[in-house]
Structure 1
């Protein structure tokens, strides 16, 4: 009521947004005659003029009318398409750093051109982000001609490109790439061993994200991870545990309500089963009987000895839990597919395979064991980041989608992004019918097949949306049995995606697609003339023949268009409601393009996941009271509203999950930024010896201050002994080195030790070339930094699991995670300083006179330098090469490295200062 009154007084948000943009649109339209009068050769000259004005101090907003007018005219001349006024309004929204919601078929790809052109004038680069490689390649190929006409360069990032090609693409004015490639390149750049090996620019200026809701919301729950296998893990345990799953029995549910029996806190409930399933949050909950059975099975299998809850055995609870989740909550052709002996995750929102992604925490391995394929070793995280934190590093982000308004709250709270809804170029005339509800899945499928067969028989194209690969294949069998020819698009044949969708509007076409989110290919009534012509001839090889065939296809398309229009346009069939209203709206939005007629209807059964988990039993009881037959459909506005309320509850829950994950990742993100800044400073450092001396001075100051405090407490003998031992273990000082100033003042001791460090560095630098010595120090520092960071990531993951248990003690787990996380990070930074100083100052470098005389002490690469420095036992190796940028640089200068301390026994403390035995650390 209040909202309606405010809208009446001040107008809706959409009306207010448009009112602010209209003056800019008028200014652009006013300059259109000026742009039309320019010659083709004038456009690059105008671009150069705009760049010079920008350098002279002009703002982007002051250049906007001319830049947009130039971009619009360039599109008309190069592509034969003049952007509509609504597309210019959308481009204005993008430039302002907002999200523009434009319905399907309104030309979002063209909308991005003016905004990208204007912001590329800064020379800092613009990234246009798409959801898959096909769209990145397609959009780049189409829009590159326009940008080149304007005098800009355009690049494209694809998988398997070498580092030089990536660097060239990122150096362009405008770069097309997927969100995955951008995120992984950022992580790879921050694992590089040389500044020249980085591919991306340092600045992240402006990005336009196509299908922004798919990228920043749907895919945001899964972080990007670069990892390497844990060579020490025994995967046979996972396979053994997998064989135990069949022995566990689920707790019996109430046959009427379908719910588990409630536990009475006053009476000890005896469950007739071992576990419960929480399908909403995908959890396994074991009963007491379940834990007892687990202990007995693990003991019988010889996996554990003693109690399950002993410290050494408790990890096997996790193995069993993950195996149970793999069997009971994750299903083939729904959550994942198996392709060429590999488990590949299916995106629940788009139905696409998420290449290169793996379920974390051992779940992926449990699924591999379940599917009886090779179990890969557990991955150790080397670098990770979420899409939320990656894209928030840009100075300005914007995006386009057909469905963002339902998620406006999340975009505002997490990304500080406003959503502006653009009007359609022509009014929408699509007929959205009420849902039809059936008692069970079988009756629903029969009704869908009957409806689709009728539509197909008259030549009306039908697009059917399903929520999983499994459901799409079930429906395909039903339609085949009914004699309806059709195409199936899901994660198993996504390679033909563009061709299938392009022809989904042809006369009589029936297409089954797993979720239509982010498809990015326009469905035109009558089919796509361009795609049809390309099937016959490549326009690059024979342009004349291509034009001839294209004209014939245009004529054919015009005839089909009128016939399909008379039948009611594209018919959209939803086989069930999705958890998110936004995904349903994306499916519906495929019909009614540019004022075309269309129709949509959703078929629902009480067996559907959404109905089953959120009130299906209540509806089943109502249908029984109303005396409905099993195969009869129910259509009622009350039911549709109840479904929408259920969807809102799920959306709220999913938002809270994403917000919760981001709160935790924000802690790690601040630490990540510190590490990556430190790494960059190491790569740019020209005098690494100065840095090492400063670090050593800070450490010795701590030693000296502690020493003097203990002396003041009259503990001179014990403090002297500890002081000498600390200096010996940390820096290799002998008692003779220290005795001469043991009783000196604090300032004199600092001065003497700093002098020692400077002389030591000078001696090492004189033993080899200064440049080579600098590279050696940088390599060792980077190696230790990466090793510590990887260990810290693993520790933070463990901490995150541990703090959740503290809710039982009425403590906030997020606060606990922040406090302990930063304590662990500070300890890691301090430990890094101690380790690197100990390793550098405890070695002696000498030039090699003859390689033949001293073969064991000669090294020719930084990798072997690191191995010798760690005592010849390997130590922590440099990160496995994930790209050319992660490989350490080489040098051909032979270096002799000698230990300056006595031989260390295998059971002695490791000289690096880690606190471990030598055989468990650098003597491993």
Structure 2
């Protein structure tokens, strides 16, 4: 029997526990509170202090003696359920000493505490600049010693490759093999990387490889025992070698981005279907949508990003749809296509949700501002936007397998992670992933100043105020980092700064290759950096000479996000490791957050108050922002639960089938 097949059967669970409901959910929530109680942090802190106390006796050991000790611990960790608390402390102390000798950094007590939290199955909230990469490396050594698959999952190829290369000397010293899976690798290279004890990769790559392996295994892939039996008796042929050797342990870096923000994103394995007749259908649907008028032919629902077709719109559709292929004559099917075209018209805009490069539509990640060149929208949306831009239409895809990120990560037997912001979603992390959140204290206290938000009635006045603030702070010599939500907003601000005679660096989805280098230099004296959303996440911004004395980095948010977590991530770029800094948000009642999640009457009242300088208007607008974020977060959570239930239904009803049977 193929070794890869055997390991997938051993380490991949066949069923995921269902979500609790009703009274069970209430009891489960109480258990979650108990799991993340402060006493757990106190217990782990005591263990971390005992690890630190072992350092002097290890510091005098030669490299050979330390290697010998590490080899002994590695053999004991082959049975992790038999590892006692004293052995864990001694092993982690030895790994800490190895890190000091191999990569030149002595882990802080807080990093030891974070590594213990990961090993115990917590989601560790560690502030920006607190050394999450080294923390994950310490825990990965302990997991790698078990010889069970350990995946360190991060948000992009650059971070995966960087972290793997940085930690490799530590892994080699500790007797742990390590690899890295990137989007450019072929199947053979991926198989070698997954065969290592510790594998660094991205969420997209690990899910895609999992789906491809399941397709290679065929219908029996979701039932390992059935697959074993079928191959033993000879009724099931041996499948092609699998790339992964199974799922057991995952350390998720930037866990809120992977497990929350991208949770509902389905990763789809598909094959193109070449049907030239459909190209004319999509172009015709877009032409009809472009000719309709909002309010007369259709009604827009901005909160749910949907449209409702009205009778005049249906009449226009009937008139334009007289001569079409038989498949599209169904009233329901053609109406759904027109509604999709109207959704593309109203809610998908160039340089916001996508960019056009080399005559191709390339998606932009809403939460990070990064390009996603290998992704497409489903249900004809991608083709409709190509028709809108006058580009050649890509063939529609036939889905072979699909899986959302939140369902995939629930398959791991041991899941843990790190992020700078987790408290706001602590209840969801427990309910969906069984991850209790543990807030790791900072190594040095945060002295960042949070300046009061500025709220304006319209976008124009907001941009003027942003430019004035940038100019005022820049004149003091302090660096400024400005976060925008879209490529279009970053380009608009760049235009205004040019007119004001201010030099700047622009980082948006069209310059993703220079992302890390641009962000890393954002702390230099007098530097102005414009970045889309959380671009450069995972890259430290170190202050240049003399900047700390001037007040540190100043962060400006030009719009609030649906989740306060993302705002806090942006603010956290300033004030790392006890550095000084400041942050401020500039808001407009025309921002997407207010337009989607506040009633029109309330928005108009607030606009009137701000225009006429009514006392208390800014406090009322700030309270409205909190309300809008609350409503947005609740809607997003409900959507994630709907997707999770849908994935569960698909898994139970359809399972996976070989491509030739679809």
| Interval containing the TM-score (normalised by the shorter chain) | 0.7 to 0.9
SS at match of 1:409: helix
CA contact (8 A) 1:335 1:347 kept: yes
Q: Are 2:53 and 1:30 aligned?
A: yes
Is the radius of gyration larger for structure 1 or structure 2? 1
Offset, 1:518: 6.8
With 89-98 and 31-40 compared, the bigger mean Cα shift is at 31-40
Q: Name the CA shift for 1:437/1:287 in 2 (closer, same or farther; >3 Å).
A: same
Aligned length: 607
User: What's the counterpart of residue 711 of structure 1?
Assistant: none
Q: Name the CA shift for 1:360/1:14 in 2 (closer, same or farther; >3 Å).
A: same
Counterpart CA distance in 2 for 1:58 and 1:291 is 64
Offset, 1:163: 2.1
* The one of 324, 338, 361 aligned to 1:303: 324
* The one of 570, 581, 587 aligned to 2:553: 570
User: What's the counterpart of residue 342 of structure 1?
Assistant: 360
* The one of 482, 501, 504 aligned to 2:522: 504
CA contact (8 A) 1:14 1:422 kept: no
For normalisation by structure 2, the TM-score amounts to 0.87
User: What's the counterpart of residue 664 of structure 1?
Assistant: 646
SS at match of 1:451: helix
* The one of 290, 294, 308 aligned to 2:317: 294
Q: Name the CA shift for 1:398/1:428 in 2 (closer, same or farther; >3 Å).
A: same
- Map 1:835-850; keep pairs closer than 5 Å: none
Per-residue CA deviation, residues 563-582 of structure 1 (Å, 9 max, x unaligned), is 21122111010101111111
Counterpart CA distance in 2 for 1:155 and 1:47 is 20
SS at match of 2:107: coil
User: What's the counterpart of residue 588 of structure 2?
Assistant: 605
Q: Name the CA shift for 1:427/1:165 in 2 (closer, same or farther; >3 Å).
A: same
SS at match of 1:192: helix
Counterpart CA distance in 1 for 2:272 and 2:646 is 25
Counterpart CA distance in 2 for 1:143 and 1:633 is 56
Q: Which runs of structure 1 show a deviation greater than 6 angstroms over 4 or more consecutive aligned residues?
A: 632-635
SS at match of 2:506: strand
Q: Are 2:523 and 1:523 aligned?
A: no
Offset, 1:657: 0.5
Counterpart CA distance in 2 for 1:64 and 1:628 is 65
CA contact (8 A) 1:507 1:564 kept: yes
SS at match of 2:153: strand
User: What's the counterpart of residue 268 of structure 2?
Assistant: 225
Offset, 1:34: 2.8
Counterpart CA distance in 2 for 1:670 and 1:304 is 35
Q: Name the CA shift for 1:198/1:304 in 2 (closer, same or farther; >3 Å).
A: closer
- Map 1:382-397; keep pairs closer than 5 Å: 382-397=400-415
Counterpart CA distance in 2 for 1:164 and 1:171 is 11
Offset, 1:64: 1.5
* The one of 246, 261, 286 aligned to 1:242: 286
Counterpart CA distance in 2 for 1:602 and 1:490 is 19
Counterpart CA distance in 2 for 1:597 and 1:477 is 30
- Map 1:721-736; keep pairs closer than 5 Å: none
CA contact (8 A) 2:504 2:527 kept: yes
User: What's the counterpart of residue 534 of structure 1?
Assistant: none
Q: Name the CA shift for 1:46/1:669 in 2 (closer, same or farther; >3 Å).
A: farther
* The one of 241, 249, 271 aligned to 1:197: 241
Per-residue CA deviation, residues 682-718 of structure 1 (Å, 9 max, x unaligned), is xxxxxxxxxxxxxxxxxxxxxxxxxxxxxxxxxxxxx
Counterpart CA distance in 1 for 2:600 and 2:455 is 11
User: What's the counterpart of residue 787 of structure 1?
Assistant: 660
Q: Are 2:393 and 1:375 aligned?
A: yes
CA contact (8 A) 1:43 1:149 kept: no
Q: Are 2:378 and 1:360 aligned?
A: yes
Offset, 1:296: 1.6
Per-residue CA deviation, residues 861-900 of structure 1 (Å, 9 max, x unaligned), is xxxxxxxxxxxxxxxxxxxxxxxxxxxxxxxxxxxxxxxx
* The one of 270, 275, 284 aligned to 2:307: 284
Measured on the aligned residues, the alpha-carbon RMSD in Å equals 2.4
For normalisation by structure 1, the TM-score amounts to 0.63
User: What's the counterpart of residue 152 of structure 1?
Assistant: 176
* Unaligned ranges ≥5, structure 1: 1-9, 252-272, 527-559, 677-784, 791-924
Offset, 1:233: 5.8
* Unaligned ranges ≥5, structure 2: 1-32, 218-237
Per-residue CA deviation, residues 767-804 of structure 1 (Å, 9 max, x unaligned), is xxxxxxxxxxxxxxxxxx4333x3xxxxxxxxxxxxxx
User: What's the counterpart of residue 343 of structure 2?
Assistant: 325
Q: Are 2:165 and 1:141 aligned?
A: yes
Counterpart CA distance in 1 for 2:538 and 2:128 is 9
Offset, 1:147: 1.1
With 597-606 and 516-525 compared, the bigger mean Cα shift is at 516-525
Counterpart CA distance in 2 for 1:440 and 1:201 is 55
Q: Name the CA shift for 1:568/1:296 in 2 (closer, same or farther; >3 Å).
A: same
Q: Are 2:193 and 1:210 aligned?
A: no
Offset, 1:400: 0.5
